[in-house]
Homo-oligomer: A and B are copies of this chain.
Amino acid sequence: MNFKIRPATKQDCKEISRMIMELAVYENMSDQVKISHEELERDGFCQNPFFECLIAEVPEEHKSKEGFTIVGYAFYFYTYSTWKGRSQYLEDLYVMPEFRGNGIGKALLSKVTEVGKNKGCVRLQLSVLNWNTPSLDFYAAKGAQDLTVSEGWHFIRFDGKHLDDLAKGAPKN
């Protein structure tokens, strides 16, 4: 199938927002999504953007049952390793179910790493839920290491009241 990978524009944020929700439904966590397309527009298309996004688009004749031509996205940002330097983090990689098996996911992933390489990045990291075998297999087949298994890294998060409490305790000097 014919498709094109291109950087997202501000005008794509409604479509990105739709696919973020589709992915969250797949991950059984749709109640967690609190982001609006206006926030994506504000935070991704400003002077120091918080993220970058690539879009997969098919020609009109291949549009989805519901009429969509934007059928996948890769959402990433730049991070930094104090051991290795410039890195990337892939927050989301998604292809609509009816478009899978056409190499679109692989193409999105490759394009992200190409963009990162051009910026001097030496790592691409991401997180996957342990029950999400299709995704774990997809990344493993391309040479990814599972660092939670091999090195024992655990993911830790502060949010809500605990984050507020920490911020309130900051020294005033």
A110 within 8 A of B: yes
Contact indicator B156/A147 (Cβ below 8 Å): yes
* B155 contacts A127, C-beta separation under 8 Å: yes
Interface of A is mostly: mixed
Residues A142-173 near B (CB distance < 8 A): 142-149, 151-159, 161-171, 173
Given A80-B51, A82-B91, A131-B152, A110 and B146 touching (CB < 8 A)?
Answer: no
Please state the number of chain copies in the assembly.
2
Given A130-B152, A147-B157, output 4 extra A-B contacts at Cβ < 8 Å.
A39-B85, A50-B78, A50-B79, A110-B171
Question: Contact: B91 with A167, CB < 8 Å?
Answer: no
| B-binding residues in A (CB < 8 A) | 4-5, 20, 23-24, 29, 32-35, 39, 43-44, 48, 50-51, 75, 77-86, 89, 91-92, 106-107, 109-111, 113-114, 116-117, 122-131, 136, 139, 142-149, 151-159, 161-171, 173
Residues of B near A91 (CB, < 8 A) are 79-82
- Given A81-B91, A162-B144, A173-B4, also A127-B107 (CB < 8 A): no
What chain B residues lie within 8 Å of A136 (beta carbons)? 154, 156
Q: Check B129–A170 contact: CB distance below 8 A.
A: no
Q: Are B143 and A154 in contact (CB under 8 A)?
A: no
List 12 A–B pairs whose Cβ atoms lie within 8 Å, in order of A's numbering: A35-B81, A39-B85, A117-B163, A123-B159, A124-B159, A124-B163, A125-B155, A129-B151, A139-B158, A142-B158, A148-B155, A153-B155
A113 contact from B111, B147, B158, Cβ within 8 A: B158
